[in-house]
């Protein structure tokens, strides 16, 4: 069993940490939010004094943070993880960030004899709780083999996708498809509702065909129940699409559909919906059409 550091104790991070504890690993946790850190310690983690302290006490440190600037600060800051890490240790960033930032952090780690993987995840809070996340990893194959047993405590699919940065590029591809799928679901069910159909019946009729998807199965019922309790927030998905468009621009790739959906998310954030679950992307079309998709009252 390894001693694993964990920084980032939010919606995704806390259940991921719990699964490491369940697997028998010693976990040293740290986060700025005192309440979340107290909760992690209550779950069984050891309390870290700082990011640097976590780096000094753990042979493998996992970060699960909102975006690239936070990862840079936590890993590369003056009191960051890297400042405390010993040569030969490993930092695994499981945040969803710009691939270029992953490569920058990896280079800084390599200069200090520390190994690095980018390993973003998909599946949201439910799969984080179950320990069945899809984990997309970028890095050296031998380093991946070292980290794989730890990652399998949190995910049912753990795949090395290429060198450092490939994990986050794969995650951007995932986020493009998820966001566009939710937006399309919103348009389809808004149309069905306006035409007088029960959208629940429509979902059940089409989910077994080509239009069926994990997105429809997971997010359709949330839309119908008007349940937008966040498993993955709209403002974070907007960040992912922004990173996708920046990566596309750097690589001369045209992504008009992604650009349109990213603008839809920006509008929802401006409307105060940024903290809602990304199933609420569908409400953009509802609002524009003055229709609410829901199961009719009996």
CB 279 within 8 A of CB 185: no
For residue 171, indicate whether it is catalytic: yes
Question: β-strands 121-122, 133-138: how paired?
Answer: antiparallel
Using DSSP, how many helices (H) and how many strands (E) does the chain show? 14, 9
Which has the closest alpha carbon to 281: 272, 293, 273, 289? 273
What is the Cα–Cα distance from 71 to 51, expressed in whole angstroms?
A: 11
| The CA-based dihedral angle spanning residues 254, 170, 179, 212, taken in that order and rounded to the nearest 10 degrees | 110
> Distance between terminal CA atoms of the chain?
54
CB atoms within 10 A of CB 3: 14
**φ, ψ for residue 91, nearest 5 deg:** -110, 125
Out of 171, 233, 239, 273, pick the active-site residue: 171
CB 143 within 8 A of CB 90: yes
What is the Cα–Cα distance from 269 to 259, expressed in whole angstroms?
A: 15
**What token pair was written down for 182?**
């939710």
DSSP string, 30-90: E-S-HHHHHHHHHHTPEEPSSHHHHHHH-SEEEE--SSHHHHHHHHHSTTSHHHHPPTT-E
List active site positions: 171
């Amino acid at each position: 069993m390894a001693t694993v550091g964990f920084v980032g104790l939010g919606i995704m991070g806390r259940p991921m940490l719990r699964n490491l504890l369940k697997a028998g690993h010693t976990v040293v946790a740290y986060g700025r939010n005192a309440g979340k850190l107290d909760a992690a310690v209550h779950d069984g983690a050891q309390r870290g004094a700082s990011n640097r302290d976590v780096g000094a006490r753990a042979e493998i440190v996992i970060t699960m943070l909102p975006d690239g600037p936070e990862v840079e600060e936590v890993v590369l800051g003056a009191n960051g993880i890297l400042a405390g890490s010993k040569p030969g240790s490993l930092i695994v960033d499981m945040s969803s960030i710009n691939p270029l930032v992953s490569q920058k952090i990896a280079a800084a780690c390599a200069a200090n004899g520390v190994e690095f993987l980018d390993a973003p995840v998909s599946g949201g809070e439910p799969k984080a709780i179950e320990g069945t996340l899809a984990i997309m990893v970028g890095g050296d194959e031998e380093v991946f083999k070292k980290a794989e047993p730890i990652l399998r405590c949190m995910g049912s699919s753990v795949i090395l996708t290429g060198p450092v940065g490939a994990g986050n590029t794969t995650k951007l591809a995932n986020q493009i498809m998820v966001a566009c799928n939710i937006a399309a679901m919103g348009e389809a069910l808004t149309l069905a509702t306006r035409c007088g159909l029960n959208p629940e019946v429509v979902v059940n009729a089409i989910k077994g065909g080509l239009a069926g998807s994990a997105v429809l199965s997971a997010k359709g019922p949330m839309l119908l129940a008007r349940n937008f309790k966040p498993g993955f927030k709209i403002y974070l998905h907007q960040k992912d699409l922004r990173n996708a468009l920046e990566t596309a621009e750097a690589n001369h790739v045209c992504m008009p559909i992604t650009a349109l959906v990213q603008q839809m998310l920006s509008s929802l954030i401006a409307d105060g919906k940024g903290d809602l679950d990304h199933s609420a992307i569908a409400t953009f079309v509802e609002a524009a059409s003055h229709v609410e998709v829901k199961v009719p009252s009996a």
